[in-house]
Structure 1
Amino acid sequence: MRNNTDNNGERPPERHRGPVVLRRGRQSEDSTTDQRLLDSRGPSDWVHTDPWRVLRIQAEFVEGFGALAEVPRAVTVFGSARTPRDHPEYQLGRQIGAALASAGFAAITGGGPGVMEAVNRGASEAGGLSIGLGIELPFEQGLNPWVDLGVNFRYFFARKTMFVKYAQAFICLPGGFGTLDELFEALTLVQTKKVTKFPVVLFGSSYWGGLYDWIRNTMLAEGKINERDLALLHVTDDIDDAIGVVQEAYKAWEDTH
């Protein structure tokens, strides 16, 4: 343990920076926090420092919680941003968004183009609540025009918290790395009981079948997961089946709350 006194037994010189104590020559700053706040002159590098990023992160959580706190029951739908509007998967996304709205669920997506736009569009056209949680990316431009309630995020982890916190289920349409990222994070959260009664529907057996078979025939067969873990996934090609899984899980959740 470090001795809190100098060799002569006296407390070393110290400087306070809020809750932080700086000793033994670590007090290099010659201005106060108030002075640095009120004096607008000087370099702007401070906006890129880690303490400032913490405040930005906090603000993103506050804004997200505030915007979504009164959202009714909802389902998060993932899928590729690269799906063109004339693709069958786009039309499928619209149908799923509409089906969610008809079943009384808000539709949450990443707010971008492709399948996300399709789901938002279907939900909005059917009179449901269409939610988009966007992310600052160099290759995607803003929220799609079918988002009724939108929140933009700088940080993936803040955005991902909102996807899970305000949804009762995930539906994954064909997608890329982002969809896989959300899929396996959701499975991990359910497996470790961070969230409960949270089904994950893989829509499109021709797309997801190979992944499901690998999980069953390799991960399960080698004991890396168990049968209960495998049961967290539901593969289907039927919209009514997907909505039924969501409704059943929501009813089970209601019964325990």
Structure 2
Amino acid sequence: MSRTLREIESLDQFDAAIAETDHLAGWLVQSVDLRARSGVLARVNPAGAFFLGCTLTDRAQLSLIRRGAHVFPRLDNVPFNAYRATLYSGADLYDARHYADTLDARVYRWMQDRLPHPGLPDTLAMTLHDHAITDALDEVHLDHHRVVGIMGGHKLRRDEPGFAAAAELAAGLAEQGAVILTGGGPGAMEAANLGARFAGCRDQLHDAVARLAPVPSFTPDIDAWVSSALAVLADCPRAIDVVSIGIPTWHYGHEPPNAFASHIAKYFRNALREDEILNRCRAGIVCLPGAAGTIQEIFQATTANYYALDTQPVVPMVLVGRAYWTETFPAWQLLSALGAGRRMGDVIHLVDDITEVPALLHHRN
């Protein structure tokens, strides 16, 4: 017999739910500090409930297990919460003044110390973390929104015209109701998340780009790059209103995540991260100039379009930079050859003018 699952991700949710029942079968309680609720837990029937990374007294934990609950304890010796209930924010990852002391840097060092052959406890911790991040990303309910992915290189400098152009594009799309999703890193990705955050506030966006320009790259000084972003974000008039997504990875941990995405889904596994990026961009993908990572995304997305059944939609894709995508990295020739005679051929585009992009994403199939 099936049972309803109920996710509990905060102490307030736990208190509200426990007031309604004394049978916890089907509950998934995730990363909640329940040490002050030991008495309540002793009075209910916990059989069939799951406690994932919750903080419990030793006595309460033993009691729950004996009475039929499934208790997954927090993992020792890892600098992250493997059962995290929510996505990250910039403040979560940049939780210290100096980058070397931040959560983002600590996790990257932990991972690097275990390569190339992490032990089973390490891979388990990373897998549990990435599973929790996917679950948290699902809870943003992106399937209810028009999600546009903006891909591009991490080397785009804040003081280059392309940075401001990418920010303007993202702002315009967000003002039309799109949720902007990026790979969550610096360069073009930062520009897109920045633009989305300042949607509807173009004067402030122009000012933000100008304020960021004196620190054009995360090299050689990550601290200056991060602090300038956090200063701009603190003055964003709509910082809590606009949803934009960044999906970076510690696989490329030398590239710090940008702080402008309102929701950051940071993964250990890059393959999983790429799959999540592309599967969620159902309203279109914009590819600004980039190198291997961007090219990987172009053709991974193309594979899904190429093999789409007649009953399945194909996702519009716009490559920006005619000379770049036909000469520097001639992806367009192969892409257009693959699309010839197929439905995907009608939704792939190559442009020089970035202002043409929004209209090309409105293809219906």
2:265 aligned counterpart, secondary structure: strand
Q: Name the structure where strand makes up a greater proportion of residues.
A: 1
2:163 corresponds to which residue?
90
- In our comparison, the structure showing a higher alpha carbon Rg is 1
Q: Percent identity?
A: 26
Alignment deviations for residues 88-141 of structure 1 (CA, whole Å, 9 cap, x no partner):
211111111112112211111111111111111111111453221121123112
What are the Cα deviations for residues 138-194 of structure 1, in whole angstroms up to 9, with x where unaligned?
3112x3121112211111232223222322110000001100000000001110117
CA contact (8 A) 1:68 1:166 kept: no
2:263 is matched with which residue: 120, 143, 149?
A: 149
Relative to the length of structure 1, the TM-score reads 0.69
Letter in 1 for 2:170: G
8 A Cα contact 2:169 2:355, kept in partner: no
1:179 aligns with 2:294: yes
- The secondary structure found in structure 1 opposite 2:197 is helix
Q: Which one has more relative contact order, counting CA pairs under 8 Å at least 6 apart?
A: 1
**CA–CA distance in 2 between the matches of 1:184 and 1:199?**
13
Partners of 1:246 and 1:232 in 2: how far apart? 8
Look up the equivalent residue of 2:361 and give its one-letter code: V
Query: Structure 1 184/213 Cα, relative in aligned 2: closer, same or farther at 3 Å?
Result: closer
Structure 1 residues 154, 198: CA separation in 2 closer, same or farther (over 3 Å shift)? same
Task: Note closer, same or farther for the CA distance 1:68–1:163 as it changes in structure 2 (3 Å cut).
Answer: farther
Report if the CA contact (8 A) 1:106-1:130 is conserved: yes
Q: Does 1:198 align with 2:271?
A: no
Q: Secondary structure at the match of 1:190?
A: helix
TM-score norm. by structure 2 comes to: 0.50
Structure 1 distance, partners of 2:196, 2:127, is 35
Contact preservation (8 Å) 1:61, 1:158: no
Structure 1 match to 2:334: 215
1:1-257 counterparts in 2 under 5 A?
45-49=119-123, 54-69=127-142, 72-127=145-200, 128-136=242-250, 137-141=252-256, 143-167=257-281, 168-193=283-308, 196-210=313-327, 211-212=330-331, 214-215=333-334, 220=337, 226-228=340-342, 230-247=345-362, 249=363, 252=364
Q: CA deviation at 1:71?
A: 5.7
Distance 1:139 1:151 in 2: 17
Aligned length: 205
Q: Which runs of 4+ in 1 moved over 6 A?
A: none
Write the distance in 1 (CA, Å) between the matches of 2:142 and 2:339: 34
Could you tell me how far apart the structure 2 residues matched to 1:120 and 1:54 are?
A: 27
Q: In 1, Cα distance between the equivalents of 2:263 and 2:144?
A: 10
Distance in structure 2 (CA, Å) of the matches to 1:178 and 1:208: 14
Q: Which sections of structure 2, spanning at least 5 residues, go unmatched? A: 1-64, 66-71, 77-117, 201-241
Runs of at least 5 residues in structure 1 that lack an aligned partner in the other structure: 1-33
Say which is worse superposed, 126-135 or 93-102, in terms of deviation.
126-135
Deviates more, 1:177-186 or 1:151-160: 151-160
